Structure 1
């Protein structure tokens, strides 16, 4: 990545002088998704509209992020974004919007000081569900989480994002500076509100004198982000070097579709993101619900069913006509009726686009990635639809019940071909144990309170669930899906 001039013939390179860029956004959690999504939008804004004051300061806080930090530091923040269309077009693009980078475990005070500087107007985050430290049962901020307890003992070497933010905002207040906008970009419903509640609960417990200032000096817009970004494979690195003569230690692969919708609630002047396709709205709920309950739920369904059948990638499962018929009927009959705030035409357009995206043969998104941490995803993506269906007089949740039954079988850890796979989940021991116990007592799996709460006591749901679980225990998932689609079970 040292010589952009030699790359120009084979890839799009920054058309701006990176030395002239100043930083106004600090982003915590420099994931593949951030690099394919938000950093790409900022690159385009700088390049197309001369937004030279919108550079990004990347920040990673976890020891597990060391590889990302080392790679991007070595490459001066530059990396290759490889967009793969369904038609087979691969478009390498060198992203230049990350102009600073800090690693919390290496120097926590440097991170705190950087977050406290007045030129940082927005602190954005992609820290995944577990970064919010929510109680598995109540969904509220978990004050008893071990990382939170460590912050109390050593506040200047924090283990949570809330600890870093607290110390940074204490410095801002002490120095007579204003706060900033905190912009969550994670797949959590009402992500801005969730971030605000968790952060304020943390501060109220640990630094209560800071809370009044925070309430007047921070805003937390809700956002909806959408761009399929799989894990980078060694093959992607090799192809980039062989076909495009680009040596990049950690490029990012993504689809061409991209969407970013933000609640217009910024503390200070916001970037002119609308110039590069971002939508600012007053009410984000219709967009957010449609994405979580269609795309993310669809991913989880294909992940569970596909893994049981022996598939490895999303596109394999999505190109299985039986699985897709099941998924399309799930979208049409069980999800669409609950999306009351979204226009019917918008739902149809999104669903049609979604099916094409799932079938993209060049993305190769792994089902293991999709299925990881399902205990945190399923309540948000699938059980939220079930809650609405159970509250209605005319209930339609047969496919949801089938998927939950299939998830129970999934946690046996063996597919229908006899091959074993890992259960990658923070509560994997509970999932595996309760799935095993359900062999003798089928209702046991629904007794996992952090996931299902009191769902196992609902006779309307359990009757349907048990029917499908018993059938899946005796038949392959493929045969079960075929018979389900034919109304034979």
Structure 2
């Protein structure tokens, strides 16, 4: 296309009116936030909110310095350099309409593997008031058995020796705050934006554990000069496809190498504990609370659990996308029954009317046929997700001697998922850091179902509950003898 514009600062002034061009003088923006992990989610969520705050409320002191730390992040780093930090946010509505917006809040970017000392130096500068993170569940290096920080993880052990060429976020942060302390500079807030239970408390405990081992003299200063608010983030953001890139070229004559696709819904709730100041995020709809737990529990146990459940069950039926499963009445009725029967009774601190509205809202979001959210993305690293999203409901129901039928059925389906074959005989890829172990124990479960539970430490104390073990055996035998869809029909009729 002869009139194709490559997305960058210079060309942004020539974009078509149909694209919401940034009404921002980027030369006036000062960096105040460093964000580690420039994922699609960060660019659809945190970076979007900062852009809105700059554009609509002239907040110029909290531009974003993006920092990536993984070898696999080289592509996004190079693209952001080429595009001066600009990218297109594509919002796909359930009615088929799409909205486009050029996001301009990322004004600096560093790539740790290329120059770790430069990234450390930038994070150590006092203009950085907040270091936020989206590093996914496996970036926290938690022991799958205890849930504690894994000091024996190979990357953690390597960082404790090779301190100035770190591989983990903890290695970087340790050197950053060591520099701040040695130079007499203030600390800052560490803001986790990941789907981790009590994410601020979790990274605080893990970071302090790491520092106690590697730089123990730094720990007293850290406790006085850092804060770790918990937060809850919510926006379905899918993998960018070549079709999304080509559509921008065709309809708007823009070549954006990595646009971001998301749903219209977005929410961010944060505990208001910022030691070095923060943006006036309330102006763009962000909610601040004293305690995140009620909001977090609702989201993790309904939306995130719902996503994982539809992902696992749908994969067994040969579905590829979330909206396909969510628009199948048998699957969505099972999810509704799970939420109503086993989740809702344990969310006592949440207004029940609002809870019902939230459930309906979540299901409507899953049904959006234009997001094209792949089940392979939803099921990726499920060994880190299921213990966070589903186990708390199952454990609470066991302790209250209430129904565990739906959650246990999901556990049995999760075991069958690691067979790697759907009900039509087609194989699917499994992407999980524990895949070798889980695939092996799923194979063993054909002879003895209990081996899947007993030989996977993630099940912890669940294995001592006779009722859970008995029902797991029962549902796994049914799932191995009947198609998933037939099982769901029987479950929904309370005949299984």
What's the TM-score bracket when you normalise by the shorter of the two chains?
Answer: over 0.9
Aligned counterpart in structure 1 of residue 370 of structure 2, from 340, 357, 362: 362
Question: How far did 1:5 drift?
Answer: 2.2
Aligned counterpart in structure 2 of residue 142 of structure 1, from 147, 150, 156: 150
**1:251 paired to 2:265:** no
**1:20 paired to 2:28:** yes
Question: How far did 1:456 drift?
Answer: 2.2
Question: How far did 1:54 drift?
Answer: 1.1
**1:485 paired to 2:492:** yes
Question: How far did 1:465 drift?
Answer: 1.3
C-alpha contact (below 8 Å) 2:16/2:252 kept by paired residues = no
Q: State how 1:161-310 maps to structure 2 within 5 Å.
A: 161-310=169-318
1:436 corresponds in structure 2 to 443
1:398 corresponds in structure 2 to 405
C-alpha contact (below 8 Å) 1:200/1:211 kept by paired residues = yes
Question: How far did 1:6 drift?
Answer: 2.3
Question: How far did 1:244 drift?
Answer: 1.8
Q: State how 1:384-395 maps to structure 2 within 5 Å.
A: 384-393=392-401, 395=402
1:457 corresponds in structure 2 to 464
C-alpha contact (below 8 Å) 1:10/1:245 kept by paired residues = no
In structure 2, what is the Cα distance between the partners aligned to 1:52 and 1:448?
A: 53
C-alpha contact (below 8 Å) 2:191/2:229 kept by paired residues = yes
In structure 1, what is the Cα distance between the partners aligned to 2:297 and 2:444?
A: 34
In structure 2, what is the Cα distance between the partners aligned to 1:286 and 1:141?
A: 24
Supply the RMSD in Å over aligned alpha carbons: 0.8
Task: Calculate the TM-score normalised by the size of structure 1.
Answer: 0.99
In structure 1, what is the Cα distance between the partners aligned to 2:212 and 2:113?
A: 25
C-alpha contact (below 8 Å) 1:13/1:93 kept by paired residues = yes
Query: After the TM superposition, which segments of 4 or more aligned residues of structure 1 sit over 4 Å from their partners?
Result: none
Question: How far did 1:268 drift?
Answer: 2.1
Q: Deviation per CA, 1:190-232: give whole Å up to 9, x if none.
A: 0000000000000000000000000000000000000000111
SS of corresponding position for 1:416: coil
**1:421 paired to 2:432:** no
C-alpha contact (below 8 Å) 2:187/2:276 kept by paired residues = no
**1:335 paired to 2:343:** yes
**1:56 paired to 2:59:** no
C-alpha contact (below 8 Å) 1:223/1:260 kept by paired residues = yes
Question: How far did 1:332 drift?
Answer: 0.8
In structure 1, what is the Cα distance between the partners aligned to 2:164 and 2:215?
A: 13
SS of corresponding position for 2:297: helix
C-alpha contact (below 8 Å) 1:185/1:225 kept by paired residues = yes
In structure 2, what is the Cα distance between the partners aligned to 1:282 and 1:372?
A: 32
SS of corresponding position for 2:238: coil
Q: State how 1:471-482 maps to structure 2 within 5 Å.
A: 471-482=478-489
Question: How far did 1:454 drift?
Answer: 3.0
Question: How far did 1:19 drift?
Answer: 1.1
Question: How far did 1:89 drift?
Answer: 1.2
196-205 vs 152-161, greater mean Cα deviation? 152-161
254-263 vs 441-450, greater mean Cα deviation? 441-450
SS of corresponding position for 2:185: coil
SS of corresponding position for 2:370: coil
In structure 2, what is the Cα distance between the partners aligned to 1:209 and 1:442?
A: 49
C-alpha contact (below 8 Å) 2:438/2:456 kept by paired residues = no
SS of corresponding position for 1:453: helix
In structure 1, what is the Cα distance between the partners aligned to 2:135 and 2:284?
A: 24
Question: How far did 1:487 drift?
Answer: 1.5
Question: How far did 1:23 drift?
Answer: 0.2
Question: How far did 1:8 drift?
Answer: 3.8
In structure 1, what is the Cα distance between the partners aligned to 2:250 and 2:451?
A: 52
**1:88 paired to 2:96:** yes
2:332 corresponds in structure 1 to 324
In structure 2, what is the Cα distance between the partners aligned to 1:104 and 1:37?
A: 23
CA distance 1:115–1:462, change in 2 (3 Å): same
In structure 2, what is the Cα distance between the partners aligned to 1:368 and 1:260?
A: 25
What is the aligned length?
Answer: 488
In structure 1, what is the Cα distance between the partners aligned to 2:55 and 2:200?
A: 28
In structure 2, what is the Cα distance between the partners aligned to 1:174 and 1:440?
A: 60
In structure 1, what is the Cα distance between the partners aligned to 2:252 and 2:438?
A: 44
Question: How far did 1:457 drift?
Answer: 2.4
In structure 2, what is the Cα distance between the partners aligned to 1:272 and 1:8?
A: 31
Aligned counterpart in structure 1 of residue 356 of structure 2, from 340, 348, 352: 348
Q: State how 1:123-134 maps to structure 2 within 5 Å.
A: 123-134=131-142
Q: State how 1:26-37 maps to structure 2 within 5 Å.
A: 26-37=34-45
Aligned counterpart in structure 2 of residue 9 of structure 1, from 17, 41, 55: 17
Unaligned runs of 5+ in 2: 1-6
3-12 vs 426-435, greater mean Cα deviation? 3-12
SS of corresponding position for 1:7: coil
1:160 corresponds in structure 2 to 168
Question: How far did 1:392 drift?
Answer: 0.5
C-alpha contact (below 8 Å) 1:112/1:167 kept by paired residues = yes
SS of corresponding position for 1:445: helix
Question: How far did 1:248 drift?
Answer: 0.4
